[in-house]
Amino acid sequence: MPEKIMFKSICYIGILMLVYVMAIPVQFAHAEGGRDPVASPPSDPVTGEIKRQEPSKPQKKKKKKKIKSTTQNSVAATPKPVKKMRTTTPRIAESAPSGMPPVGETRFITNEVIVRFQLSSTARSRNRAVRGLGMSHLGAETFLLSGVTVHRYRLDAGIDVRDTITRLETSAAVVNAQPNYLYVLQQSENISKLPQFSNDKIDLSEAHTMNKGANTRIAVIDTAVDGTHAEFLNSSISSFDVTDGGSNVDPHGTSIAGILAADSKLTGVAPDAEIVSIAAFSKDASGKTVGNTWTILEAMNVALKQKADILNMSFADPADPLLERAMKGAKKRNILPVAAAGNEGPDAATLFPAGYEAVIAVTATDTENKIYSKANTGEHVDVAAPGVGLLVLGNSAGFRTSSGTSMATAYISGIAALALSANPGADYATLRAMLENSTTDLGEPGKDSIFGAGIPSAAAAISALNN
């Protein structure tokens, strides 16, 4: 009985709870599609009317303020790199006198010019400067003693050298332009054979008891030297060729080298000196032996690279700005330039390179110490040496006689080598003073325009330096 009462009580309680739940007004209903329940609109508590709800305005999203971090790194922030402005070195315009040859000057190659361009010029500006002038480029070279780089051009047929120079020098890319000057060797032929009297004139036997020119180098800028000649059997000769390709059979260079270094039947002034033979002269199409600005300056490049102490230049002719620069360059480097005064006669104009201040200009004398009748004269003449009727070397194993300031030049170069061998520290100024202060005065007292200071004594020159 009690179990029945318990069962019935539970049923009644369950029914009551079900009724109660169903009696509660539904506040929410689920819409189709499974959306979230929507709240019923509220009613007025007095009237019971349902209030119309105004649509809610969308709330503006509040922008979050960005908070700058106040925390500093332990390492200071690296500043932005400052952009460096590229600075360009200002271009320096070079200047030089015009290379136009003097009025009446014709001693140059008639279809060539040599052009010096601005160092700052470009290939385009150089090509523009020569365009339309009928010019063909033959080559470019830096001439070390002159201290410039120049270009060699050939002109088309009918193009005038002077007109071309005028037009070239109007270009901003051009420093100056000049002809390719011609030079000739200073010798005369058809002199009867004579003994080697010249060595006595310079006291060579006495000088050779002291030294014979060892440890010196003489650059012979001339025609090619025949190094196979029997007189050079014990000599030191190195040979170079910078000619334009002409014939090199002229014995002039061999004769000059023989005066300097022969050591068999003939006695050279400085037989122990090293001879640097540089062929810059050759026979042209007409058979004339010539050198030109280009080949001579190329020869000087060789001489500088071979560390020559003395430049023997037994040639002469017109003034040449590039050659003048080279002579100044040699002096600065303590290289002694020695050159022939020329064989055009006492009334002729000064010839070059002998006419340049840096060069020792040499005239020639005969067996009686008289001036060579064809020698040039002038205030530029520095010293004299034997140069008339000399017995010199010829081609192959031969000998010949020759006269000229060319031959005299070799004697002075040889004496300078003896003096330098005795005192290796002697500079340009010392050697020049030695040559002028060890002379036997000829002609008018003191230095004059015919003999210069006179004929140097090799023995006196060596003694003067030794003391």
Residue 416 has pLDDT above 80, yes or no: yes
In this predicted structure, which of 4-18, 38-52, 307-321, 402-416 has the lowest mean pLDDT?
38-52
pLDDT at 387: 96
pLDDT at 89: 58
pLDDT at 395: 82
pLDDT at 3: 56
Summarize the confidence of residues 143-171 as an average pLDDT: 96
Summarize the confidence of residues 400-423 as an average pLDDT: 96
| pLDDT band at residue 38 under the 50/70/90 scheme | very low
Residue 242 has pLDDT above 80, yes or no: yes
pLDDT at 463: 86
In this predicted structure, which of 16-30, 174-188, 327-341 has the lowest mean pLDDT?
16-30
| pLDDT band at residue 73 under the 50/70/90 scheme | very low
pLDDT at 92: 76
pLDDT at 199: 93
pLDDT at 71: 43
pLDDT at 29: 40
Question: Pairing relation of β-strands 289-292 and 282-283?
Answer: antiparallel
pLDDT digits (tens, 9 = 90+) for 178-230: 999 999 998 766 544 335 789 999 999 999 999 999 999 999 999 999 999 99
pLDDT at 30: 42
In this predicted structure, which of 23-32, 175-184, 293-302 has the lowest mean pLDDT?
23-32
pLDDT at 4: 55
pLDDT at 7: 59
3-state SS track over the chain:
CHHHHHHHHHHHHHHHHHHHHHHCCCCCCCCHHHCCCCCCCCECCCCCCECCCCCCCCCCCCCCCCCCCCCCCCCCCCCCCCCCCCCCCCCCCCCCCCCCCCCCCCCEEEEEEEEEECCCCCHHHHHHHHCCCCEEEEEEEEECCCCEEEEEEEECCCCCHHHHHHHHCCCCCEEEEEEEEEEEECCECCCCCCCCCHHHHCCHHHHHCCCCCCCCEEEEEECCCCCCCHHHCCCEEEEEECCCCCECCCCHHHHHHHHHHCECCCECCCCCCEEEEEECCEECCCCCEEEEHHHHHHHHHHHHHCCCCEEEECEEECCCHHHHHHHHHHHHCCCEEEEECCCCCCCCCCCECCCCCCCEEEEEECCCCCECCCCCCCCCCCEEEECCCEEEECCCCCEEEEECHHHHHHHHHHHHHHHHHHCCCCCHHHHHHHHHHCEECCCCCCCECCCECCEECHHHHHHHHHC
Domain spanning 186-466: which CATH class is it, in words?
alpha beta
Summarize the confidence of residues 96-101 as an average pLDDT: 95
Summarize the confidence of residues 20-31 as an average pLDDT: 47
Catalytic residue IDs: 222, 252, 406
pLDDT digits (tens, 9 = 90+) for 445-454: 999 999 999 9
pLDDT at 78: 58
| pLDDT band at residue 414 under the 50/70/90 scheme | very high
Domain ranges within the chain, ordered by starting residue: 108-181, 186-466
Cα 52 to chain centroid, rounded: 104
The share of the chain scoring above pLDDT 70, in percent, equals: 78
Summarize the confidence of residues 320-332 as an average pLDDT: 98
Identity of the highest mean pLDDT range in 33-42, 78-87, 89-98, 159-168: 159-168
pLDDT at 93: 82
Fold of the domain built from segment(s) 108-181 = Alpha-Beta Plaits (3.30.70)
pLDDT digits (tens, 9 = 90+) for 351-394: 999 999 999 999 999 999 999 999 999 999 999 999 999 999 99
Residue 36 has pLDDT above 50, yes or no: no
| pLDDT band at residue 272 under the 50/70/90 scheme | very high
In this predicted structure, which of 62-66, 113-117, 139-143 has the lowest mean pLDDT?
62-66
pLDDT digits (tens, 9 = 90+) for 43-56: 444 444 444 554 44
In this predicted structure, which of 55-59, 134-138, 435-439, 458-462 has the lowest mean pLDDT?
55-59
In this predicted structure, which of 157-161, 185-189, 312-316, 331-335 has the lowest mean pLDDT?
185-189
